[in-house]
Amino acid sequence: MNEHLRIAIDHLHEGVQVIGFDWRYLYVNDTAALHGRSSAIDLIGCTMQDCYPGIAESELFGVLREAMQDRQPRRLRNLFEYPNGGARWFDLRIEAVPAGICVLSMDVTEDQQTQDRLREVERQLLQAQKMEAVGRLAGGIAHDFNNQLTVILGLTQLLLEDVTDVKQKRDLGEIEAAAQRSAALTKQLLAFSRRQVFHIEPVYLPAVVRNVSRLLERILGEDIRCELDLDPGTELVLGDAGQFEHVLTNLAVNARDAMPEGGQLMVSTGTTEFNEDDARQHPMMQKGRYTVLSVADSGHGMDDETKAQIFEPFFTTKEAGKGTGLGLSTVYGVVKQMNGFIWVYSEPGHGTTFRLYFPITSERPDAAINRIYVEKRSAGTARVLVVEDDPGVRELVARTLRQNGYHVTVASSAEEASDYFDQPDVSLDLVLVDVILPGQSGPMLLEQFERFAIPVIFMSGYSAAHVQNRGRLGSFPLLTKPFSSAQLVSAVEQALAPSMHQ
């Protein structure tokens, strides 16, 4: 080889190696030797099998053998695993030469890692979009179904008050119980779709974990040890303490089912910092400080296919009749509604860890409560306006209130209610209004209610977070569908009685 040419090839940024028909290295430039974590002196004259034990069984060696035999060029991207540990990605070009084959190599590890990160980010975004679409569908179905359940429950309870036949009472009781079970399912769907009613306030997660720890022990049973690692420096987050407890119990049930022969559950809290690189890997999060709630079990773990579906509604790996498939989807919805993020790590045979990240807050619990006392009106003289577009719910509410002594006027839309307020000598003591109405929404009527100083109860299958004027709406009572006759009457009594309102 020409000396100048040899020097040029020796110093190329691309690895160059010539391998003979007997698999001995005939030439290796400095870059190729660096790629192989060796030196040219150690490689030249030795076979690939001697230099890299086990390579003869690799996919790469199979491609090299084919090129050696058919003398056709090859291109591939290969993850080369070194005998002493570690691996790097290389783009390889293989060409036939008179002495054997020539292999040109470029280290593309950083490029491959960037592509892997981009694919993971794309996967996360696609998963988030799918979950958002499924959530909207589930929330819409649950909202409409709650209207029907309200009618079923309400009429069943009214019939139970009138029926004296024992068998009929028993049958009506079964109908009521089935409706209540259906209501529980729709509540889980609303949690997944992030349309559940929350009481948001600053929450200290270590206190939540301690409060629910005894319940967790009962859920897990005697053969699963529950350990707590609660950092006292854990910072406050904005959320619903009751929903945090619900999340913990759901994760504990999931962990228990993954450890049928016993094991260990570790629940920990702390605070961590996410930098820009962390945020790039998790597109749903921004850089900043987060409080972390971690739940780790020593169970049988999950493969990647299972892990990709665990938050989808009705997906379950349990036997028929042993799970609805809504436990983890509920967890997902609750965490997302509280602006959180879930990271899951699991391998078959090595347990599962759920890490829940929540943005920290500088807010502190507010002890001040403004008290406004309302004059009590008796049921016999109280006048109530019911604004509800669903005819079944509207008539049920009106009928129930009338049977309890209230004077009821109904309106099927915000416009119809507005016309009522435009009449002279408006006389009302309370308004029950659905949050979501065709055209103008319930909260948009607030100005008229306030003009006449009339107490308001909102009714909805959605939460206040999903309607206009949600900041002001949060200070009013919200009767969540489906509600029973007793809950309806109790809410009306509380609104009319001397009580405290923020």
Closest listed residue to residue 356, CA positions, set 379, 385, 322, 333: 333
Closest listed residue to residue 466, CA positions, set 363, 337, 361: 337
Q: What integer best gives the mean pLDDT of the chain?
A: 79
At 499 the pLDDT is 41
Give the integer Cα–Cα distance in Å for 49 and 62: 13
Spans of the chain, pLDDT less than 70: 1-11, 121-143, 184-199, 279-284, 313-327, 365-381, 439-443, 447-448, 462-475, 498-502
Give pLDDT tens digits for 227-270. 999 999 999 998 888 788 878 888 888 889 889 889 999 999 99
* Six token digits for residue 13: 């940024």
Give pLDDT tens digits for 187-237. 655 554 444 545 678 899 999 898 888 888 888 888 899 999 999 999 999
Give the integer Cα–Cα distance in Å for 352 and 310: 12
Residue 40 near residue 29, CB atoms below 8 Å: yes
Burial category of 322 from C-beta neighbours within 10 Å (exposed 0-12, middle 13-18, buried 19 and up): exposed
